[in-house]
Structure formats: structure tokens, C-alpha cells
Structure 1
Amino acid sequence: MLVISKKGPGDVKASDFNKNGAVEIINPEAHIATLDKGAQFEMEVTVEKDRGFRSTEMVTDKGKEIGRIDIDAAFSPISRVKIDIENTRVGQMTNFDKLLLEVESDGSILPYDALIAASNILIDHYKAFAFNEETPNELTQMPEKEVPMMDEEVADEVLEGDEEIDPKTKIEDAKFSPRTTNALTNVGVKTVAGLKRLSDLKLSEIKGLGQKGIDEIKERLG
């Protein structure tokens, strides 16, 4: 809260506000009013910190105090920004653009510092998209899908797969994956009995089977 109490005649300026360590008067010569002889001027000003612009329509407690006058508030220290783009030449290339920025402030911050601060704010906003596997972001999380119920026929096949396989069963009927089935039949393995006689070393030598296929065989045969 800043307070002015002054008698005329004379001008009322921003420098007439009472001293307040939390508020700095940027322009002490700012003219507020002109007083005639014998006039008494008193004013209390509420100073707030915010961003952007706030109109009187946005004030929620308007009219609660007698004599209170709400005014539009501009919190940004930047009063004007002009942007221009010109053609420029770099070496032999003439199709480049040059960006020209003209920034004016109210004196509370240098235009260059304001540009740096605005750039950092923009960078911080874009950091929300600059994530990786080590720092997962909620944007990468896919919605959970509902797992469909398994019908009875498929369930029966799964249960049958958990039962012990008859050694006489042909490899084609042993319900291995197509890759594993092809790898075994290509080397002449015809039945589950013949497959069981193969050692881990022999299995590892079968082309196209791989460790994944070996693990599948062990899991299937128990």
C-alpha cells in the first residue's frame, strides 16, 4: 500500500508517495495532479504483483469499499514491441531472412534482459516435449486397453497346451511357433520323441532356432 498526503498549491508527483522498501518508484517525476491553494489531496494506492494485463472487469471484489476506484492494470514491464523481417544476404545466398525486434520497456528492466527472460520462459514451456526414456513423461503413457475375454474354444486349446505332449506327436501338431516348427522340420526332426533326444548343444546348432526357440521348446515340453 502506498499513500500520498499533500496540501496545495503545487503538483502531486510519484515522488510524493510515502517511502516503502517493498516498492520502487521507476519514474518519480510522473505527474498525478495539480493542486490549488488550500487544496488537500490524499490517496491510497494498492500495489500488486501479477502478469500481463488485468482489466477492471476482472476485479472480483469491486465496489466493496466506498471511494475506491478500480483501474486497468498493466503488469508487464514491456510497453511496446515491433517486429520486422527483412531480406538479407549471407555469402552468395540472397534468400535468407533477418528478424528485427524493437523492444521498449518502462525502465524497470532493460529490453535486452526482457528478451532473454521471455526466451527462457518459452524454452521452459517446450521442455515439456523434450523427454526421453530415462525421464518418462505423462504424454508417452498410452491409455490402458481392455483385455478381451478368451472364448471357450481358445481356452481349451491353451489348457491342452499345458498338458504333457504324446512323444508320438508330430512336430507340425505340437503347437510350436511357425519359426520353431520350420527350424525343426528342416533338420529332419519329425516327432516330439525325436526332439526330446536332442541335447541343448544340438538344439543350439539348429539354424534359425535361436535361444528364443530353445526356450519355447523347453517350456512346451516341460
Structure 2
Amino acid sequence: MRIRWRGFEMPTRVEKDENTASGTYAKFSAEPFERGFATTIANSLRRVLLSSIQGAAVRSIRVEGADNEYAVIPGVLEDMAQIVLNIKKLRLRLHSDEDVVVRLEKTGEGPVRAGDCTPHQDVEIINPELVIANLASDVTFSVELDIGPGRGYVPAEQQSVDGKPIGTIAIDSIYSPVVRVAFDVNVARLGKRTDFDKLELEIWTDGSISPELALVEATNILRKHLNPFIKYFEIGREFENATATGLVIEGDNERSGKLSKQISFLDLSVRSENALRAANIKTIADLVQMDETEVSSISNLGKISAKELKKKLADHGLSFGMRLASSE
């Protein structure tokens, strides 16, 4: 099926090569593009994928027996500089918007691995086989890791350690879960014409996010930045919250005014917003009339995202399962 808009040939869909796809790699293709548009789209997506996808990383550490990054710990083969470099390679998946502290402690000769960390409900270690240090004797190696969400790369000099315990060492944080992005533009044929473009986009991640989800998130970030440039009388109407629900909270005009707003007003994560829109939940009124069980059962949402929604609604004085009255 061909899609045309104002004389432009548009891609009908994005396809993934299932034969080569894995949890950390995927190759996507889309066609046809008018000449030059594939390169424009690919460059924009590549920039966003590499710099703007949210991930998690260690921000600072506290190592027992070491007050600075140049210290040497008795019984540990590596010095602090090497330990810090190893910790920077730690890849994580964070199921919370809040900072968390994870403790790593091991006693006895042998390697200390990332998998030796004390389990935390909000943190998932993607590379548990990573060696943090090697113990040469029967000593105890203990370190606390301050972990938080972020984007891109943040050097140690910009990390905030104010209010942290004495001995806290700030380290460079590499948040981006996307390791590499490559694209190729080839000739595409449409009917008798051969002057169209075909885009092939390859994405590698560290495993904390799938290539598919990374692509969707990058596309949404790009779209959000283009929304202000769309004229009001075209598809940007939803940006003005023009949809009226006709529902109110009796005796509360302030909260009633929020019911007609789009769910984007809540500043949700890309995953949560996509799942709600896929379930045809567009306004806050649609959301607050559902109970918590119904929300948790929405496809691709899950319990963690449901908790996020509950907190976001509470910030505005709203909750699940609200009874709304007609404004008429």
C-alpha cells in the first residue's frame, strides 16, 4: 500500500530483520523516501539515539579503606584508579526515577564481580560477570555504589557529592544505553521510478534497553521537539489541549481543569505514554476513571510503570478510580 502526503511518497512501515536481531542488536529498514529524506531522518535519529536516551549509571562510590581515587587497598591487586575504571563499565537497568544505593561486599581470595552486589528491587545488573577487583588474600572488599538515571555522559567534575558521606568519590557516568548506530541509504524502486531512497538503520545497545524500544524513544523525543513548529490549526491541536471531556470533579474547579489535558501533561516516561496511547487512553480523565488493577493490566505497561502513573497523578491531587460528574 502506497502512502502519499502532499505529493511526497512516504514509507509504509519500518521492518526489522528478524534473522539477525538479538537483545542488543537490530537492523531496521524503511522505504520509500523522497531523495535526501532518508539521510535527513537517519542523521537526526542517530544523534538522538547516541545522546538522549535515558539510562542508568554509577555516579559516585565509597570504598572501605580508601578516601580518594589514588589510594591503594591492602590485599587488593588493583589500585583505586583501576577499580573506578572497572566500575564505569557496569551496565544497569534502573526501575525507578529515584537515586538508589547498592552495596557490594566480598571476603576471600579471588575476583570480585558485579554479580556479587547485594540484590536491590530497583536495580538490575546487565553484566554480572564484570570483574570489579581481584583479592590476593583473605580480606574484605566493601564498596557502596550511588546509582541514578540520566542521559549522555557526565564527567566526575560535574557530579554532585554535597551531603554525601566523607570518602565519597565521584566518577564519570556513561548513561547512554545505545552503544553504536550505523545507517546506509540505498536506491529504492517504486513502480517504474528508481530515484527513491531506502534507509537501513542498525542499532547496538548494552542490553539495558532493546534496540526496538530505543528507536521508539528516539523517535518520540524527536517528535516532541518538532511539535512546537507545527501550526495550531494543523495536527498540533492536541498540543493546545483542545479536547474537552465534559467531566468534572464536583466542587473542585482547579483539579477539574486538569481532566481535559492530554496524558503528556503528566510528563511520563516514553514507555508509559506509548502504552497508554496504544490502549486509546488520551486524556487524564480517561486515566483517573480506571482502577489500579485495570491500569496494571494494560499491555506493555507493567507494575513499575503503574506505580509511576500513580505517583504522577498524586502530584496533581488525582488518583485512580475517581468518580467524575458531568459538567452539563
Task: Provide TM-score, normalisation by structure 2.
Answer: 0.38
| Alpha-carbon contact 2:155-2:173 (below 8 Å) kept | yes
1:62 touches 1:70 (CA, 8 Å); kept in 2? no
In structure 1, the partner of 2:125 is: 25
Q: 2:145 aligns with which of 42, 45, 49?
A: 45
**1:37, distance to aligned residue in structure 2 (A):** 2.4
Structure 1 residue aligned with 2:221: 121
Residues 185, 197 of structure 2: 8 Å contact kept: yes
RMSD, aligned CA: 2.7
Indicate the SS of the match to 1:83.
strand
- The residue that corresponds to 2:170 in the other structure is 70
TM-fit CA distance, 1:102: 1.0
Is 1:10 matched up with 2:107?
Answer: no
Answer whether contact 2:114 2:131 (CA < 8 A) is retained: yes
After superposition, the C-alpha distances for 1:154-207 in whole angstroms (9 at most, x for unaligned) are xxxxxxxxxxxxxxxxxxxxxxxxxxxxxxxxxxxxxxxxxxxxxxxxxxxxxx
- The structure showing larger relative contact order (alpha-carbon pairs under 8 Å, at least 6 residues apart) is 2
Residues in 1 aligned to 2:164 and 2:119: alpha-carbon distance in whole angstroms: 27
Distance 1:88 1:53, change over 3 A: same
Correspondences of 1:118-157 after superposition (within 5 Å): 118-133=218-233
User: How far apart are the structure 2 equivalents of 1:115 and 1:9?
Assistant: 44
Tell me the distance in 2 between the aligned counterparts of 1:57 and 1:91.
Answer: 57
In structure 2, stretches of 5+ residues that fail to align are 1-100, 241-328
Residues 4-52 of structure 1, C-alpha deviations (whole Å, 9 max, x = no match): 1111212111111111111111222122111112132111110011122
Partner of residue 84, structure 1: 184
If each structure's strand is expressed as a fraction of its own residues, which one has the higher value?
2
Where has structure 1 moved over 4 Å in runs of 4 or more? 62-66, 133-138
Whichever residue aligns with residue 230 of structure 2, its letter is A
- Length-normalised TM-score, structure 1: 0.55
Rg bigger for which structure? 1
Query: In the aligned structure 2, how far is the partner of 1:137 from the partner of 1:5?
Result: 50
Distance 2:160 2:102 in 1: 21
Change (3 A) 1:34 1:28: same
Gaps of 5+ in 1: 139-222
Letter in 1 for 2:178: I
Which string of whole-angstrom CA distances, capped at 9 and with x for unpartnered residues, describes residues 133-169 of structure 1?
Answer: 595999xxxxxxxxxxxxxxxxxxxxxxxxxxxxxxx
Give distance in 2, aligned partners of 1:46 and 1:64.
10
